[in-house]
Structure 1
Amino acid sequence: MVKVKIRRNEHNEIESFTISGHANFAKKGSDIVCAGVSAVSFGAVNAIISLTGITPAIEQGADGFLHCLIPTDLDESTKEKIQLLLEGMLVSLETIERDYEKYITISK
C-alpha cells in the first residue's frame, strides 16, 4: 500500500509530505496507482521548482520513498504559490485514494 503523510503547520499550511510503499495494484511497470502517485507528487515538486524558483529539501529512497520539506523562510507571495501547488497535489492524491482506497492511504 502507498502511504502518504501530509504535515501541516499551525497556520494549516503544508510544510512537508512523505510518500512510501508500493500499491501492488498490478505488476511492476503496469501499476497505475503507483504511476499516478509518482506523476502527481513529482509533478508538484517540479512545478514548485520551475514556477517559484524554490527547491525544497527532497529525500528519495527505496520502496517508493519520497520526502519533501518546504523551506520556512519564504516571502508571502512565494509561500502562497507553493501552497496552491501542494493543495492541488493533495486533491489529485485524494482522487486516487477515493478510486483505489485498497492501495493508497492519506493521513494528515
Structure 2
Amino acid sequence: MINVTVYRKNNQITGFELSGHADSGPYGYDLVCAGVSAVSFGAVNAVMELTDTKLAIDQGSEGGYLRVTIPEAVAQDKMEQIQLLFEGMIISLETIVQEYRQFIEIEHK
C-alpha cells in the first residue's frame, strides 16, 4: 500500500510524504506505483523549475519513500504558485485513489 501524507499549516501545504509500494502488479509493471511516481516527481520538478525554489527532499535509496518540505522563507507570489502546483498533484493522486483505493491512501495532517 502506498501511503500519502499531506502536511498543512494554516490551510497551506507545507510538505508531503509518500511511503510504501502498491504491489498492484509485478515489478516493473506496477501501474499504480508508476502513476504515483510520475505525478509526484512531475509536481516536484515543476515546482523547482517554474518557481526557482529549492525544496527539501528526502528520498529512500530503495525507492518507496519520498518526503518533500517547502521552505518557510518563500516569497508570497512563489508560495501561491507552489500551492497551486501541489494542489494539482493532490487532485491527480486522488484520481488514482478513486480507481485503485486498495493500493493507495491519502491522509491530511
Which residue of the partner structure matches residue 27 of structure 1? Answer: 26
Deviant stretches of 4+, over 4 Å: none
Provide TM-score, normalisation by structure 2. Answer: 0.96
- Equivalenced residues, count: 107
Amino acid at match of 1:20: S
Aligned CA RMSD, in angstroms, stands at 0.7
Which residue of the partner structure matches residue 105 of structure 1? Answer: 105
Amino acid at match of 1:67: R
Question: Within the alignment, does 1:41 sit opposite 2:40 as a pair?
Answer: yes
Which residue of the partner structure matches residue 71 of structure 1? Answer: 71
Give the Cα separation in 2 of the matches to 1:76 and 1:54: 12
Residues 25-48 of structure 1 deviation map (CA, whole Å, 9 limit, x = unaligned) = 001100000000000000000000
Shift of 1:55: 1.4
Question: Within the alignment, does 1:94 sit opposite 2:94 as a pair?
Answer: yes
Q: Which segments of 5 or more consecutive residues in structure 2 lack a partner in the other structure?
A: none
Give the Cα separation in 1 of the matches to 2:79 and 2:67: 19
Secondary structure of 1:16's aligned partner: strand
Q: Which segments of 5 or more consecutive residues in structure 1 lack a partner in the other structure?
A: none
Give the Cα separation in 1 of the matches to 2:12 and 2:35: 24
Give the Cα separation in 1 of the matches to 2:72 and 2:29: 38
What fraction of aligned residue pairs are identical, expressed as a percent? 50
